[in-house]
Amino acid sequence: MNASAHIGVTGLAVMGRSLARNFARHGYTVAVHNRTPSRTRSLMEEFGHEGTFVPAETAQELVAALQRPRRLMIMVQAGAATDAVIDEFAPLLDDGDMIIDGGNAHFADTRRREADLRERGIHFVGAGVSGGEEGALHGPSIMVGGSKESYAVLGPMFETISAQVDGQACSTRIGSDGAGHFVKMVHNGIEYADMQLIAEAYDLLRQVAGYGPAEIGEIFRAWNKGRLESYLVEITAEVLSHTDPGTGKPFVDVVADTAGQKGTGRWTVQTALDLASPVTAVAQATFARAASGQASLRAAYRPLPGGVRIPMSRSEAERFTSQVEQALYASKVIAYDQGLKMIQDAALTYGWDIDLAAVAGIWRGGCIIRAAFLDRIRTAYAAEPRLVSLLAEPGFAKEITAVQVPWREVVAASVRRGVPTPAFAAALSYYDTLRADRLPAALLQGQRDYFGAHSYRRTDRQGAFHTHWGHPDRSETEV
Ligand code: 6PG
């Protein structure tokens, strides 16, 4: 086998097959391999005409087909399956070769694998690929973590096959080792929050304003022409406008209301807890998915009383719709702000030098959270790379000021009427928490010192103190 392939792809399920085709369509010679060879054969039969593929039946054949430095992309299930493929291929590779994991791997696994393989002279690259099958084939957003040397070789290839926005590729080197998979994980966390906020807006328009799914689809279609323009709003309009062919009912009404999750949102929340990074909108979105699946608990709660149902006139419904758009936008800004801050927190913890302007830039296209306002986010971080929050940028601060009243009225209406809006409420409470001059955390510190002698700090002098709650004089000593 002559070593002609620019890249090899092992794992030809939906994402792997689509990426292999994308590389081939852009003129690269692509060696392809799958544990079950029938998958390789079916790729060649169906799509072999799209470019230059080199089918390989074994790991050895695949490696032999690769130009040096060899570039091998793994597209298999995250976790043990990825480790198994690495164990199979690494012994066949030489110093300077590269293994790219394009799956939704946990960033901690990527950091471990990168360190292990670096010992053996192999570059391990964790590439977060976003955009689903459509994106992988026509242009994903690619968040790459790994050495500068490997990106010098791989970058031009990823930038060629990625989505392009204003002539800029939606692929970049995020940072070393697990940085790429970390940012992909946060992308998915923001995705959860964004989807939950949209779902809550839909629920409010349905339950409070009294619109039907098709009407709400039109409302989202109109919102998609403004500051909420995004892939998720766009597809929401499509899903809500869809009629189930079998029953003639609105599609959304025949779908079981229990949400699945493959795990990346959960990882985001778990990691955020370790980082003490309060991604409250992501957390509520993830827990909302869990709650939707608690069938027996829901059955127990269902008979219990809730809010009041007050029908709205047409004009009241139209006014409420405008308020919901403002509340959705405000909550979305908060959710993205939380995710971006979490990336800053992680960069400090893991020693990554992450350019948030570049992150926002490659999220403008290809990925699931692509949205028009990401261009303004990119501009904000380009102007001030150390921006502590989007709300420290005058434009976003002005916008959040303008939507204060409707944002609060929508959350209040949801509470009064018993319509659950966990993500809306979390975003608003996060905003109020960070605005507060004094938080009730002071009382928490008193309670902790009372029952656990955990000590507290004072506002009027340095040091840590403990009050002797069990003594009559309740004296205070510095600890
Ligand atoms: C992407 C998506 C993708 C995600 C699935 C479903 O960026 O292309 O985020 O990576 O895994 O869309 O994820 P859940 O099952 O967790 O919703």
Q: Is 191 a catalytic residue?
A: yes
pLDDT by residue for the chain (479 residues), tens digit each? 688 999 999 999 999 999 999 999 999 999 999 999 999 999 999 999 999 999 999 999 999 999 999 999 999 999 999 999 999 999 999 999 999 999 999 999 999 999 999 999 999 999 999 999 999 999 999 999 999 999 999 999 999 999 999 999 999 999 999 999 999 999 999 999 999 999 999 999 999 999 999 999 999 999 999 999 999 999 999 999 999 999 999 999 999 999 999 999 999 999 999 999 999 999 999 999 999 999 999 999 999 999 998 999 999 999 999 999 999 999 999 999 999 999 999 999 999 999 999 999 999 999 999 999 999 999 999 999 999 999 999 999 999 999 999 999 999 999 999 999 999 999 999 999 999 999 999 999 999 999 999 999 999 999 999 999 999 999 999 99
Split into its structural domains, the chain has a count of: 3
Q: Is 161 exposed, middle or buried (0-12, 13-18, 19+ CB in 10 A)?
A: buried
Q: Which of 406, 405, 407, 376 is nearest to 393 (CA)?
A: 376
Query: Which residue, by CA, sits nearest to atom 1 of ligand 1?
Result: 130
* Residue 94 falls inside a structural domain: yes
Residues in the chain: 479
Annotated catalytic residue within 184, 325, 341, 399: 184
pTM above 0.95, yes or no: yes
What is the atom index within ligand 1 of the atom nearest the CA of 191? 9
- In angstroms, the CA 261 to CA 125 distance is 25
Pocket mutation for ligand 1, best pick of 14, 101, 264, 367 (most atoms within 8 Å of C-beta): 264
Ligand 1 center to 374 CA (angstroms): 19
In 10 A of CB 150, how many CB atoms?
A: 23
Same domain? 202 vs 315: yes
Q: Which domain holds residue 472?
A: 441-478
Domain identity same for 317 and 387: yes
The residue nearest atom 17 of ligand 1, judged by CA position, is 261
Please check whether residue 52 is in contact with residue 29, taking contact to mean a CB–CB distance below 8 angstroms.
yes
**61, part of any domain:** yes
256 and 383 inside one domain:
yes
Cβ contacts of 401 within 8 Å, gap of 6 or more:
none
Q: How far is the CA of 324 from the centre of ligand 1 (A)?
A: 26
Q: Which residues line ligand 1 (CB under 6 A)?
A: 104, 130-132, 188, 191, 260-262, 264-265, 367-368
- Residue 324 is which amino acid? V
186 is written with which tokens?
């946060």
Q: What are phi and psi of 62, to 5 degrees?
A: -65, -45
Q: How many whole angstroms separate alpha carbon 69 and alpha carbon 245?
A: 52
Q: Are residues 394 and 473 in the same domain?
A: no
> Of 177, 203, 233, which marks where a domain is finished?
177
- Residue 385 identity: P
For the beta carbon of residue 388, count every other beta carbon within 10 angstroms: 10
C-alpha of residue 280 to centroid of ligand 1, in Å: 19
31 and 172 share one domain: yes
The structure tokens listed for 75 are 């597209």
336 and 424 co-located in one domain: yes
Distance 286 CA to ligand 1 centre (A): 13
Q: Check which CATH number belongs to the domain holding 459 and give it.
A: 1.20.5.320
Q: How far apart are CA 178 and CA 158, in angstroms?
A: 17
- Marked catalytic residue, from 114, 159, 191, 393: 191
Question: Considering only CA atoms, which residue is closest to atom 10 of ligand 1?
Answer: 130
**Strands 464-467, 456-457: pairing kind:** antiparallel
Same domain, residue pair 79 and 114 = yes
What is the CATH classification number for the domain harbouring 144?
Answer: 3.40.50.720
Q: Is residue 1 part of a domain?
A: no
